[in-house]
Structure 1
Amino acid sequence: MQGIIERQQEGMGQKHLGRKGLIAFIVLMNMFIPLSMDLYLPALPTMNEYFGSSAAITNLTLSLFFLFYAAGILVWGPLSDRYGRKVIIMMGSAIYIASSIACALSPSITFLIISRACQGIGSGGITSASMAIVKDCFTGKNRETILAITQSISGLAPMLAPIVGAWILYFTDWRGSFWLLALISIINLVLTILYKETLREEERYRGSLLGSWSRLVVVARNKSFIIPALIFAFGSIHFMGYIAVSSYVYIDYFGLSEQMYSYFFAANALISILGPAIYIRYFINFNKRALAVLCFGVAALSGVLIMTLGQLSPFIFLVGIILMSLTGTVMRPFSTNILMEQQKGDAGSMSSIINMSFTLFGSLGMAIASISWGNIVVGLGALIAIGSGISILAWYAFMKSSIPCAGVKDSQ
């Protein structure tokens, strides 16, 4: 016990980084996905013109990044338990640096799409190990504090990224965003070199690689976990659909500048990060069955609002998007806690499945939203309304089933 306390106080013996440096390192790693997704969003319309491609093709740079990120999580996570966090982060960072440079030098949209897929694989190695480091080094209230810091920064990143991306377009073209991502990943690699391994030898998984990956199957067979995991993850379809087409809506449909688009995008992100605090303040003791229905229902109504009135003004469209996004972040603490309650042990495999589910559904949402709907605003509103309606029906069926759900069915 004394050894654990000393490790926490000394930053797990981080001679070069120290405790504060270790926290900064974790924060930076948690920013990779929102930065990778949102930094170049303002440039998507100009990328279409540059490559002479359609929105559906160009948006594959988003959806395939997300898809290969999901695959990377499943591959890298078990490896970090076997070989340690440092080697996995170094490998992920090296892949990310090379693929970011490849993105910046892309001669064609096909080359860019492939490079973005490689970026996703590298990102999986970086982020899959970041939360494991938190578990290695901190316990109790210390861990809660660290998680709160990293989650807050992750919420700020999507707010700031498109603003930075829009300002980059003042001085250079779309390639500038990928050069910046390459620079950030180089900084991350330097910090990785300074980082001292936090997974002790005696705590590493000693079984085979296939044995470690087989735990994913064990967790996935738990119906009490996998069914609500899929229901909650389904909500990422319409949120990531919005991410994929947001620049086209504000810039092409409403005729705003790249800078104005970034401000609208940031406004939604800023309000959305209030969701967890709203849940803790007002809904933590709320009926859990009803809370899910309430959030899904408000999201469905936001889709209807976007379909009917969202075409009239970017401000009305923003209100609808805020309602959809805010309900998602309000649900996040509740849904994550419920899923954790359903599975005892296998925390790494459980986390991998949760992240993979959100990522896969998100990739699907990007692809659906990028289809030529005729009216992009109506199409997105329909995706949100229909997707949320399906979530309500699926949640209702699950609540009526005989499958147990700890913390929900046993508390009614």
Structure 2
Amino acid sequence: MIKNSKSLVFPLLLVLYEIASYLSNDMYLPALPAMMRDLKLTSSEAQLTLTTWFIGAASTPLVMGAIADRFGRKLTLLLGGVIYMLSTAMCAMTTTLSILLIGRFIQGGMMASMLVPGYAVIHELYKEKEAIKILALMGSISILAPAFGPLLGSVVLLFSDWRWIFWIIAIWVLFVIAMLSYCMPETLTREQRHSLHFKRLFQQYWYVLRNKRFILQMFGLGFIFSGFIVWITAGPLLVIVSFHYSAVDFGIIQALVFAAYILGNRQVKYWIDTMGTKALIQLGLRISLIGGIILFIFDVFSIDSIYTFLIGMILFSFGTALCFAPLNRTIIDASDAPMSIRVALFTSFITGFGVLGSGMASIFYNGTVNSLANLIIIAIGIAWSLIKFSLYLQRNEHG
């Protein structure tokens, strides 16, 4: 078990910040049709506001890793939070697509100021199994953003317009940043900090990139994540536009998918001690693959039903939850490079795969269940192959 409740104060505050950041996507998904009418956007332009956020999020992690090593974890996170809050206010006040895209890009870019120093502190504070349990707990909480964010956004839209969604997030971030300024520990002493040397920084990143186990498992986890992003990006259009359900109905459907993820994360807490890290990863992969096979069967027989599609998605969600936190830690432990370097690369890759998933949904989704299923099937298949190959190589190295 996790040692005491005091040790959870920082992780819980960090995940509250993470939820606020994710809500900048998930909470306003039901507002996309209203934003399209208000700002006179096309469907592609509306989806571009999601893609732009991920592009910003993928652009800054490598720089944030160096900044966190130079100025410390805490200062980097807090200043980034202030900038994030201001960019969210910019989105709330915009009247044009160009200003909205700038605000969205900055929002995404400041995600790294939270993820890189924040998760570096988590990995530095806790040992492997304890860290996996905490990561699973944080995952089961942070997933509330995509699970209930659309429903929460729908409720806000019942009483106000889409701009208030951004104002609520800005106020939320202000509160969390104020709490973190008192409760966040600093794991990097002044003696450990060093000036920015881009040559050394490049060498450190290249050292990690040459690590086969890090890359294979990172890409495997990335494709799993991209499968989720495909659903998050195209899901509201499928449910609301193609199947003519209400925004509240979409929120309920989204909650079912991610309730399975929360359940999977809860099981990690109990199974990590009895099964071990590798066995838990393999179990999660098998279950997610079964979900992919179900999606494939429905796709082959052209069953254009949201309910049958959800069966495969729920299994995919539960299975990937079982292996997400263990994979997170094994990827970080695959290299002995400085922690901020490893976490920065991890964050950069995972957000890059978010861009990939969002872009794939924008390009290949055509309004049908089958087009969405095809994208998720491909993501699951590639992820399963890469992670299994990585575990095979690791077994041979120790054999």
Deviations 1:359-409 (A, max 9, x none): 111211111112264333221111112233334454566677xxx42xx44
**1:384 alignment partner in structure 2:** 376
Task: Provide the C-alpha distance between the structure 2 equivalents of 1:386 and 1:200, rounded to a whole number of angstroms.
Answer: 41
After TM superposition, the structure 1 = structure 2 runs for residues 225-244 of structure 1, keeping only pairs within 5 Å, are: 225-244=214-233
Task: Provide the C-alpha distance between the structure 2 equivalents of 1:102 and 1:129, rounded to a whole number of angstroms.
Answer: 25
Q: Is the 8 A contact 2:51 2:355 kept in 1?
A: yes
**1:3 alignment partner in structure 2:** none
Deviations 1:204-242 (A, max 9, x none): 332434234542221111123212321331222221011
**1:248 alignment partner in structure 2:** 237
| Alignment equivalent of 1:331, drawn from 319, 323, 344 | 323
**1:180 alignment partner in structure 2:** 168
Partner letter of residue 259 of structure 2?
L
1:90 paired with 2:82, answer: no
Partner letter of residue 321 of structure 2?
T
Deviations 1:42-79 (A, max 9, x none): 11222223333332221122122122112222221221
| Alignment equivalent of 1:218, drawn from 207, 232, 253 | 207
**2:255 alignment partner in structure 1:** 266
**How many angstroms does 1:108 deviate by?**
1.9
**2:194 alignment partner in structure 1:** 206
After TM superposition, the structure 1 = structure 2 runs for residues 243-392 of structure 1, keeping only pairs within 5 Å, are: 243-278=232-267, 281=271, 284=276, 291=283, 294-295=286-287, 297-305=289-297, 307=299, 312-371=304-363, 373-392=365-384
Q: Alignment partner of 1:273: what SS?
A: helix
Cα distance, 1:397–1:188 mapped onto 2, change above 3 Å? closer
Task: Provide the C-alpha distance between the structure 2 equivalents of 1:317 and 1:109, rounded to a whole number of angstroms.
Answer: 33
Q: Is the 8 A contact 1:268 1:318 kept in 2?
A: yes
Cα distance, 1:141–1:357 mapped onto 2, change above 3 Å? closer
Q: Alignment partner of 1:371: what SS?
A: helix
**1:170 alignment partner in structure 2:** 158
Instruction: Name stretches of at least 5 consecutive residues in structure 2 with no aligned partner.
Output: none
Q: Is the 8 A contact 1:94 1:122 kept in 2?
A: no
Q: Is the 8 A contact 1:30 1:130 kept in 2?
A: no
Task: Provide the C-alpha distance between the structure 1 equivalents of 2:129 and 2:327, rounded to a whole number of angstroms.
Answer: 21
Task: Provide the C-alpha distance between the structure 2 equivalents of 1:397 and 1:9, rounded to a whole number of angstroms.
Answer: 38
1:49 paired with 2:37, answer: yes
Cα distance, 1:199–1:209 mapped onto 2, change above 3 Å? farther
Task: Provide the C-alpha distance between the structure 1 equivalents of 2:368 and 2:42, rounded to a whole number of angstroms.
Answer: 14
**1:63 alignment partner in structure 2:** 51
**2:177 alignment partner in structure 1:** 189
Task: Provide the C-alpha distance between the structure 2 equivalents of 1:338 and 1:368, rounded to a whole number of angstroms.
Answer: 28
Cα distance, 1:144–1:384 mapped onto 2, change above 3 Å? closer
Deviations 1:308-362 (A, max 9, x none): 5786443223222212222221221442344244323433222222222221112
Identical positions, percent: 25
| Alignment equivalent of 1:122, drawn from 66, 87, 110 | 110
Partner letter of residue 71 of structure 1?
S
Task: Provide the C-alpha distance between the structure 1 equivalents of 2:220 and 2:8, rounded to a whole number of angstroms.
Answer: 37
Q: Is the 8 A contact 2:120 2:343 kept in 1?
A: no
Q: Is the 8 A contact 1:309 1:316 kept in 2?
A: no
Q: Which moved more, 1:94-103 or 1:219-228?
A: 219-228
Cα distance, 1:45–1:292 mapped onto 2, change above 3 Å? same
| Alignment equivalent of 2:121, drawn from 133, 138, 157 | 133
Q: Which moved more, 1:234-243 or 1:299-308?
A: 299-308
Q: Which moved more, 1:250-259 or 1:315-324?
A: 315-324
After TM superposition, the structure 1 = structure 2 runs for residues 73-88 of structure 1, keeping only pairs within 5 Å, are: 73-88=61-76
Partner letter of residue 243 of structure 2?
F
Q: RMSD of the alignment, in Å?
A: 3.2
Q: Alignment partner of 1:343: what SS?
A: coil
Instruction: Name stretches of at least 5 consecutive residues in structure 1 with no aligned partner.
Output: 1-7, 12-18
Q: Is the 8 A contact 2:284 2:320 kept in 1?
A: no
Cα distance, 1:262–1:410 mapped onto 2, change above 3 Å? same
Q: Answer with 1 or 2: which has the greater Rg.
A: 1
Task: Provide the C-alpha distance between the structure 2 equivalents of 1:97 and 1:269, rounded to a whole number of angstroms.
Answer: 27
Deviations 1:104-147 (A, max 9, x none): 11212232122101111122212222223335655688766654
Q: Which moved more, 1:168-177 or 1:186-195?
A: 186-195
Q: Is the 8 A contact 1:302 1:385 kept in 2?
A: no
Cα distance, 1:328–1:149 mapped onto 2, change above 3 Å? closer
Task: Provide the C-alpha distance between the structure 2 equivalents of 1:70 and 1:244, rounded to a whole number of angstroms.
Answer: 17
**How many angstroms does 1:263 deviate by?**
1.1
Task: Provide the C-alpha distance between the structure 2 equivalents of 1:229 and 1:329, rounded to a whole number of angstroms.
Answer: 15
**How many angstroms does 1:286 deviate by?**
7.2
Partner letter of residue 185 of structure 1?
V
Aligned pair count? 393
**How many angstroms does 1:82 deviate by?**
1.8
Task: Provide the C-alpha distance between the structure 1 equivalents of 2:191 and 2:255, rounded to a whole number of angstroms.
Answer: 42
Q: Which moved more, 1:127-136 or 1:195-204?
A: 195-204
Partner letter of residue 69 of structure 2?
D
**How many angstroms does 1:246 deviate by?**
1.0
